[in-house]
Structure 1
Amino acid sequence: MLINCFGYPSLIVPIDNIGIKDNISYEEIPVQILDRLVRKLRTKEVASVKVLWRNQFVEESTWETKEDMKMRYTHLFPS
């Protein structure tokens, strides 16, 4: 059974500027590093960065490892 669903127009993301591919996927591009954190484990320390992605809100930013982000996106890390 289908139920009518009314969405909020402010939450609709325009697909014109996203660049959707033929297989209905797109690549997320990091915009900015919001925060840095070093987590201490028993035997090592892991450096993490909080990344703001394009087409996402600040609340939806993710924590990624610093080494991985530095390898893939060097433009976010000034020398």
Structure 2
Amino acid sequence: MYADQKVRDFELGVGEQVFLKISPMKGVMPFGKTCKVSPRYLGPFEILHRVRDVAYKLTLPPGLSTVQPVFHVSMLNKYHFDGSYIVHSDSVLLDENLAYEEEPIAILDRQVQKLRPKEIAYVKVQCKHHLIEEATWEAKYDMQER
């Protein structure tokens, strides 16, 4: 009765290519937050076989040998070639939860936000493996501590 009408059947075949969803770890730095970004996709990987109605076994590279190769369909995305949103597995160190640590690489802009009693300085930070358009505003004090 209250089922989501936008949900569609997601069925993949053996031999198809899929991306694997990974997400950045939040709050891993002792003195500040990491960059705030949306989940990314790793891959593409080939489907070996269907395990259940909603689970598939993938061929993973040796660098991901600690990760179990069976994934729910919510962790998969069909392969459509466009290299702008792919994080390659050899450039990212993943843990067993398929998370990686964000690393800031460049400060793109600066601004000062004026509040009544004080001023807060912000810097626009680009993180590793992300485009310039995905840069986020971070407090300058937090970035100096890192």
User: TM bucket by the smaller chain?
Assistant: 0.7 to 0.9
Q: Hey, what's the Cα distance between the residues in 1 that align with 2:141 and 2:104?
A: 15
Deviations 1:21-66 (A, max 9, x none): 1221110001011111111112211100000100000000000000
Superposition map of 1:30-69 within 5 A:
30-69=104-143
Superposition map of 1:15-34 within 5 A:
15-34=89-108
TM-score by length of 1: 0.79
Runs of at least 4 residues off by over 3 Å: 3-6
Question: Is 2:16 the counterpart of 1:8?
Answer: no
Higher strand share: 2
Q: Hey, what's the Cα distance between the residues in 2 that align with 1:66 and 1:47?
A: 5
Q: 1:70 corresponds to which residue?
A: 144
Q: Hey, what's the Cα distance between the residues in 2 that align with 1:3 and 1:62?
A: 36
- Is the partner of 1:16 in helix, strand or coil? helix
Q: Hey, what's the Cα distance between the residues in 1 that align with 2:145 and 2:93?
A: 24
Ranges in structure 2 where 5+ consecutive residues have no aligned partner = 1-8, 13-77
Ranges in structure 1 where 5+ consecutive residues have no aligned partner = 73-79
Q: Hey, what's the Cα distance between the residues in 1 that align with 2:137 and 2:103?
A: 14
Instruction: Look at both structures and tell me which one has the larger radius of gyration over its CA atoms.
Output: 2
Change (3 A) 1:38 1:71: same
Give % identity: 43
Q: Hey, what's the Cα distance between the residues in 2 that align with 1:3 and 1:60?
A: 31
TM-score by length of 2: 0.45
Moved more, 60-69 or 35-44: 35-44
Q: Hey, what's the Cα distance between the residues in 2 that align with 1:3 and 1:34?
A: 42
* C-alpha RMSD of matched pairs (Å): 1.7
